Amino acid sequence: MNKIVILGAGYAGLTAAVSLAGRTRRREDVQITIVNAEERFTERLRLHQTASGQRLADLRIPELLAGTRVEFVRGWVTGIDVAGRRVRIDDEREFEYDRLVYALGTAADTVAVPGVDEHAHTLDSAHNAEMLARRLASLGSGTVAVCGSGLTGAEAAAEIAEQHPGLDVVLLGKREPGSTMGPKARGYLHIALARLGVRVVSGVEIVKVRPGSVDVADGASIAADIVLWTSGVRVPPLAAAAGLRVDDTGRAVTDPALRSVSHPQVYVIGDAAAIQQGYGVMHGTCQSGMPTGVHAATSIVRELDGKQPRPFRFGYLHTPVSLGRRDAVVQFTRPDDSPKRLFLSGRTAVWYKETVSSAPWPSFQRLKAFPAMGSFAWRRGGRFTR
């Protein structure tokens, strides 16, 4: 029996699970187990909606996996013994594996800046987003500081401003929002934020979060009743603690086939992986995470059949950004994620973004039935990844 254990049932881990289930359904020699903290699938792409008080669909992982031979285990992964090929769950149960798929994602960095861990909210889990939603609902009036002017920060600021028009929303960060987009899409983003009443303060380095304020490097302090932290990337320490080779952010470094460079029986996928492409190391997105899940599944099946796995190649397609429920902007990109001239805005962009955000769950169901479809579902990147 080939025991395959998948850690994490987010976008990447679930893609790997359903693809593997589909590709091995006629084999009797494969046993697949997936471990996740929650039974409910976390639609991370929509956590800013949760945080602003909206209810999301209740998507249950065991229901998705019904009819497959994938065993779902609810639990918290506490350790990996790569020498003994075992994972520990909740410090009490152990599961053996022949191949491990590590897909535990990342979180915002709440450690680098003092006070963030104690006084700021994050969008790192549905639970955290719901806590923020409750505080926003009870605030009535006051200031919400959204720290981090990346796309998550911009989406969250827009969503909160639209759902809570009585609140003053300020978006703080080093870069201006939309800095990775082309000038037209960026300009559109700024106008939309201004229309929603979001105050943008760029070029500031946040040095401390206190109860009731955020301190920036020039000595100024910005009053804030609620702080949302979206900046930086923190990787769960499990990979490094297990001895997998990690980069300076803690992501596990992979070979071209997505196996750990130090432990080839461990595939690392999604945000938790540092994957080198021709244009550099990929940054974490759902757009790239799902293809890594398909590739890991395909590679494992190739290995079971005695073949070598192929290299993973990926090129970005777009950067879709919601601006509340009634507006959005979508920047189309080259495979290396640099912006093209083409972008969408307004209602067409709202439709596009909504299609992208709702696509993963039905895609999981399709991959379960037609796993071969997964191999055609992403851009390989042409000359950018050769």
Ligand X SMILES: Cc1cc2nc3c(=O)[nH]c(=O)nc-3n(C[C@H](O)[C@H](O)[C@H](O)COP(=O)(O)OP(=O)(O)OC[C@H]3O[C@@H](n4cnc5c(N)ncnc54)[C@H](O)[C@@H]3O)c2cc1C
- Buried b / exposed e over 338-359, threshold 16 CB at 10 Å, is ebeeebbbeeebbebbeebeee
**Chain position carrying tokens 């990844």:** 385
> By CB under 6 A, is residue 103 in contact with ligand X?
yes
Least distance CB 309 / ligand X (angstroms): 19
CA neighbor of 16 nearest in space, from 54, 61, 77, 49: 61
CA neighbor of 14 nearest in space, from 240, 255, 257, 292: 292
- How far is it, in rounded angstroms, from Cα 63 to Cα 54? 23
> By CB under 6 A, is residue 270 in contact with ligand X?
yes
CA neighbor of 153 nearest in space, from 183, 131, 175, 136: 175
Least distance CB 372 / ligand X (angstroms): 22
CA neighbor of 58 nearest in space, from 38, 76, 75, 78: 38
Binding residue for ligand X, selected from 8, 22, 315, 335, defined by CB under 6 A: 8
> By CB under 6 A, is residue 285 in contact with ligand X?
yes
> By CB under 6 A, is residue 160 in contact with ligand X?
no
> By CB under 6 A, is residue 173 in contact with ligand X?
no
Binding residue for ligand X, selected from 37, 201, 240, 359, defined by CB under 6 A: 37
Q: Which of residues 30 and 146 has its CB atom nearest to ligand X in the complex?
A: 146
> Do 104 and 254 meet the contact criterion of CB atoms below 8 Å apart?
no
Give residue number: closest CB to ligand X. Answer: 10
Q: Which of residues 37 and 139 has its CB atom nearest to ligand X in the complex?
A: 37
Least distance CB 319 / ligand X (angstroms): 8
CA neighbor of 54 nearest in space, from 133, 119, 124: 133
> By CB under 6 A, is residue 13 in contact with ligand X?
yes
> By CB under 6 A, is residue 268 in contact with ligand X?
no
Chain contacts with ligand X (rule: CB under 6 A): 8-13, 35-38, 42, 44-45, 47-48, 76-77, 103-105, 123, 152, 155, 236, 270-272, 284-287, 289, 320
